[in-house]
């Protein structure tokens, strides 16, 4: 278990931080999955050896792996499998398979593409990661927010937007999507580039919801199904123009939608 937690720790920390860390986290997903697969395929023998070594050093009885496994709940019932089979297949493989399944569910092809595309809007290093094709593709994931005509307009607006913000000193030292949204409003460029700003707001919803889901699923496993829906809905209301919901209303409303979440801190 320590090995599994160690392999997933970097990604878990990145997912709980701000939007820029979430953008970087996507690059850790495949690496973490590869290391978990490597541990599954090649790590069991080392794991058993470490357990046996620990037992010998601490004068603890060590099971003989070739002997028949005895279920502590039903000790008189024949298990029909060895200790090695139980701890390797039923325990070691099962834990890793559950972890890999969770990765595949949370980071399927669509979710991964969304996060990668979102990175193209990052203002860091004077918009170094900007990729117009990925941003247009990102907008295509939201047909209710971008009509076909607006998608064509966005394609042209992105070129003007990039040239405009790269030549504006006020955008030169931004470090997050949140900073970008704030400065766009302060400079009133959200009126000049309305489609880009709309896409930016959708990215902020995605990034904050991802961090929120990760934090709450780790801290409150009993509510990890309800929290994502509440998070996305109320973040969307908060950033609407004008705001349709104020922060002090979030917890009472969340309590209505998900009673289990009423005791949670919003931070």
Q: Is the pLDDT of residue 44 over 50?
A: yes
Which residue, chain included where needed, has tokens 């295509």? Answer: 140
Q: Is 9 exposed, middle or buried (0-12, 13-18, 19+ CB in 10 A)?
A: exposed
Q: Are 13 and 219 in contact (CB under 8 A)?
A: no
Average of pLDDT values for 107-112?
Answer: 71
Residues 6+ apart with CB under 8 A from 171: 123, 126, 127, 165, 180, 183
Report the pLDDT averaged over residues 186-198. 95
Q: What pTM value is reported for the model?
A: 0.56
Q: Is 126 left (phi over 0), alpha (psi -120 to 50) or beta?
A: left
Q: Lowest-pLDDT range, 3-7, 50-54, 73-77, 225-229?
A: 225-229
> Prior bond to 107 cis, omega within 30?
no
- Segment 197-251, tens digit of pLDDT: 999 998 888 755 444 444 444 444 444 444 444 444 444 444 444 444 444 443 4
- Residue scoring higher pLDDT (37 or 162): 162
Extents of the domains making up the chain:
2-109
pLDDT single digits (tens) 55-83: 778 887 777 778 888 887 777 788 788 88
**Mean of all residue pLDDT scores within the chain:** 74
- Does residue 184 have a pLDDT over 90? yes
Confidence of residue 23 (pLDDT cuts 50, 70, 90): low
Residues 228 and 2: their CA atoms lie apart, in Å, by 28
The per-residue pLDDT for 20 is: 55
**162 to 25, 121, 148, 234: CA distances (angstroms):** 25, 10, 22, 30
């Amino acid at each position: 278990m320590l090995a599994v937690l160690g392999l997933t720790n970097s990604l878990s920390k990145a997912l709980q931080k701000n939007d820029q860390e979430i953008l970087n986290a996507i690059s850790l997903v495949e690496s973490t999955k590869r290391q978990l697969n490597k541990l599954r395929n090649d790590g069991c023998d080392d794991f058993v050896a470490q357990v046996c070594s620990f037992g010998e050093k601490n004068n603890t009885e060590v099971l003989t792996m070739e002997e028949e496994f005895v279920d502590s709940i039903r000790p008189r019932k024949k298990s029909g499998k060895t200790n090695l089979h139980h701890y390797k297949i039923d325990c070691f493989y099962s834990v890793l398979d559950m972890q890999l399944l969770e990765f595949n569910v949370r980071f399927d092809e669509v979710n991964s593409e969304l996060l990668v595309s979102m990175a193209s809007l990052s203002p860091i290093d004077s918009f170094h990661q900007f990729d117009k094709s990925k941003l247009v593709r990102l907008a295509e994931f939201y047909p209710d927010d971008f009509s076909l005509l607006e998608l064509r307009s966005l394609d042209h607006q992105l070129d003007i937007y990039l040239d405009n913000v790269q030549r504006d000193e006020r955008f030169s030292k931004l470090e997050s999507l949140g900073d970008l949204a704030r400065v766009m409003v302060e400079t009133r460029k959200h009126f000049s580039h309305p489609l880009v700003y709309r896409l930016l707001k959708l990215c902020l919803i995605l990034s904050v919801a991802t961090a929120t889901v990760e934090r709450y699923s780790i801290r409150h496993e009993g509510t990890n199904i309800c929290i994502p829906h509440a998070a996305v809905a109320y973040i969307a209301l908060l950033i609407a123009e004008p705001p349709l919901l104020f922060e002090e209303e979030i917890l009472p409303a969340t309590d209505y939608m998900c009673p289990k979440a009423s005791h949670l801190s919003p931070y």
